[in-house]
A and B are shown apart, each in its own frame.
Chain A
């Protein structure tokens, strides 16, 4: 198994989403660990731009031949952009989970609360112990 990556500039949820905060825009995807566990991803279900979610809501799902994983909003906000490329190239989530395989961008509503998220080393340790 290739070594899994945990970029240090991101924050991670225990439900395996990663989060990149840039001003009031938050980009989210699933971690290298999650894509590896799911294996060949065949479909990504994403919300529409303008939909509103609260922190903890499921906003979509990532599906392989053997499993479906819900993905959860790590901030409350409005969907600002979705990665349309995934509708025809879902394998990008496997090949480049932190780059071209991103899922959605949220525009934060109110103050973002990231206190429950892990940094890269804590998340890596969390994954190793599962």
Chain B
């Protein structure tokens, strides 16, 4: 019977040992009026039937296996080396629990420590935790850290409209019960200078995206100094792939760096599970929520790893904990660690450069098309904004017939960007695919 191994004889032996006649006798404490309801769920299928049904459902989707994908907007189609999946499929990793018993969990603990170390290298921060649910919740947790650091005496948060719209929604959902005001993204058009103008003594933090939702690198040079001048914290929401190429947020003066780790070794998988990375400067590390692994020694003096800063977590601090977070995205953090190990510093840089060159090649070609105009006001990484001669929806409807998933419709989130498409190009897009995209767009001008 599926995954229950009991034989009839064993069941009888066990019931006799307990001293009851049937398993049903064990449920006397459940109100009889509500006991043993029927479950109207279809009867069991065999393994081969399940595989067939789900394969058919999977194939009914328009996915990256069959289509050329030029959509990003927070989820990126990058190459994942075979090794990553082979390591993730190790039962020793994926069927283990949280490493609460360090003597039996050194594998998870050391891999997590290595992940943390590599995230520090990438972001230019001193410490990184073992991850949050995704980039959006990482940002929401950063708000809590900023409130903690400023001891809940400040209640103003400034968010750049260039942060992913869904991330900003999540910050609002998370903090709806708290005395907190969010400014900066009301019109969707504020620039860095406009955000600086909002800073005051009541500001706990200011967050910007790097690159922003439009793929652009805004000028952040004086930002940190301005934010710190009022005693607030600077949070940079960064695409980790871009960090292989562009100056580290640590260099730019960030106090916390958060974001979506999915580009590094985690597939698209319809939006999750992904990986919220979270990195921070040393002085605030004890305010960090979630799991973090530290180095120590065992009784024999041998190097070993253990979860640390535990007392601030919910299971010990209960209602005084700053977050209720319990799980991390352990397996996704492992994927990122394996990915970064394989790529190394030169490989990751090369992937980032491929993205950059291909995106710029595509942008240049599209900019030549009549009716299409690429926003070249700022440097960009692997996504760029195109003003289109007709609705984005109509263009995408046409592209899909040609086997292309087109860009994201920015009009969904930014009223001033109707008919503006956000295109994404990665190392997965060949020159032939890009040329086809350009040709098809040209036919729509």
What number of A-B contacts does a CB cutoff of 8 Å give?
A: 21
B286 touches A43 (CB 8 A): yes
**B151, B286, B311, B320: the one within 8 Å of A66 (CB):** B311
How far is A65 from B317 in the complex, measured between Cα atoms in Å? 12
* Nearest CB in chain B: distance from A120 CB, A: 28
**A contact residues, total (Cβ < 8 Å):** 11
Indicate if B226 sits at the interface (CB-CB under 8 A).
no
Q: Which residue of A lies closest to B320 (CB)?
A: A70
Bin the interface of chain B by size.
under 10
Q: Which residue of B lies closest to A58 (CB)?
A: B151
A67 touches B311 (CB 8 A): yes
Residue pairs across A and B with Cβ atoms less than 8 A apart, 16 shown, are A43-B286, A45-B286, A63-B286, A63-B311, A63-B312, A64-B311, A65-B311, A66-B310, A66-B311, A66-B316, A68-B311, A68-B312, A68-B316, A68-B317, A68-B320, A70-B320
Interface residues of chain B: helix, strand, loop or mixed (majority): helix
Contact bitstring B195-223, A, C-beta under 8 A = 1, else 0? 00000000000000000000000000000
B contact set with A: CB distance below 8 Å: 151, 286, 310-312, 316-317, 320
Interface residues of chain A: helix, strand, loop or mixed (majority): strand
**A43, A47, A58, A67: the one within 8 Å of B316 (CB):** A67
Q: Which chain A residues border B286 with CB–CB below 8 Å?
A: 43, 45, 63
Q: Which chain B residues border A66 with CB–CB below 8 Å?
A: 310-311, 316
* Nearest CB in chain A: distance from B189 CB, A: 37
* Nearest CB in chain B: distance from A67 CB, A: 5
Contact bitstring A25-69, B, C-beta under 8 A = 1, else 0? 000000000000000000101010000000000100001111110
Q: Which chain B residues border A43 with CB–CB below 8 Å?
A: 286
How far is A43 from B310 in the complex, measured between Cα atoms in Å? 12
How far is A64 from B310 in the complex, measured between Cα atoms in Å? 9
Q: Which chain B residues border A58 with CB–CB below 8 Å?
A: 151
Add 18 more A-B contacts to A66-B311, A68-B312 (CB < 8 A).
A45-B286, A47-B151, A58-B151, A63-B286, A63-B311, A63-B312, A64-B311, A65-B310, A65-B311, A66-B310, A66-B316, A67-B311, A67-B316, A68-B311, A68-B316, A68-B317, A68-B320, A70-B320
